[in-house]
Amino acid sequence: MARMPNRLRSSRARPVNDASAPVAFDSMRRDDLPEVLAIESLSFSEPWTEEMFLYELSSEGISEVLVARADEGSGLHIAGFLCAWIVAGELQINNIAVHPGYRRRGVASQLLEEIIRRAKSMGAKAGYLEVRASNEAANALYQRYGFRQIGRRRNYYDHPREDAILMAKKPL
């Protein structure tokens, strides 16, 4: 289930400005999990658990788990992450989140561009995701990248109960 943050909570300080955040992409590692879990809990009312991320990390050959690392003078930080599957010619975006200090600075866009580039290089022809119906920012982002609504899953999310919008990008 692709998700983008739908509310902010306070967090430890990170650099914030209006400029685009330059990031470097890397495969997520087990030692990234404390930072990833912090971003996850800051971003979602029902955050993924450590076990869920460990499953993604252990699903080699299927799962692409990326982190976007940024360094703005205070050392490397994980600015955001994306979890996706690339199977049978299809990209399935399962989870995407950006640290509150890096939101609205192009990190989610850069993550999407990177996973689409990787998926195409692996032969994927289409991309899919689910997003909360009320998450206008995420819906707009996905639409900018050519994803279109193809369906709706009633009551897909809990806390709060809400529909998921199914989106597809064909061709990828």
DSSP-based three-state secondary structure for 132: strand
pLDDT for the residue numbered 74:
82
pTM for this predicted structure: 0.87
- pLDDT tens for residues 45-71? 899 999 999 999 999 999 999 999 998
Does a structural domain hold residue 126? yes
Does a structural domain hold residue 70? yes
Does a structural domain hold residue 14? no
How many residues make up the chain in this entry?
Answer: 172
Band (pLDDT 50/70/90 cuts) for residue 135 is: very high
User: Which residue carries 């902010």 as its tokens?
Assistant: 8
15-24, 57-66, 72-81: range with highest mean pLDDT? 57-66
> Would you say the C-alpha torsion 33, 38, 143, 70 has a positive or negative sign?
negative
- Mean pLDDT within 95-123: 96
- pLDDT tens for residues 156-165? 999 899 999 9
Number of domains in the chain: 1
- Mean pLDDT within 111-134: 97
Q: Which CATH number belongs to the domain containing residue 52 in this structure?
A: 3.40.630.30
Q: Over 60: is that where the pLDDT of 42 sits?
A: yes
Q: How many CA atoms does the CB half-sphere of 64 hold within 13 Å?
A: 25
Range of the domain at 73: 24-169
Does a structural domain hold residue 19? no
Does a structural domain hold residue 105? yes
Does a structural domain hold residue 86? yes
Catalytic residues: 130, 142
Rounded Cα distance between 164 and 90, Å, is 19
Considering the chain, what is the average pLDDT of its residues? Answer: 89
Q: What percent of the chain has pLDDT over 70?
A: 89
Structure-model confidence comparison of residues 16 and 157, the more confident one = 157
Does a structural domain hold residue 81? yes
Does a structural domain hold residue 155? yes
Among 57-66, 69-78, 100-109, 127-136, where is mean pLDDT lowest?
69-78
Q: Which two tokens stand for residue 24?
A: 């470097």
pLDDT for the residue numbered 68:
98
pLDDT for the residue numbered 116:
98
Q: At 170, which amino acid appears? A: K
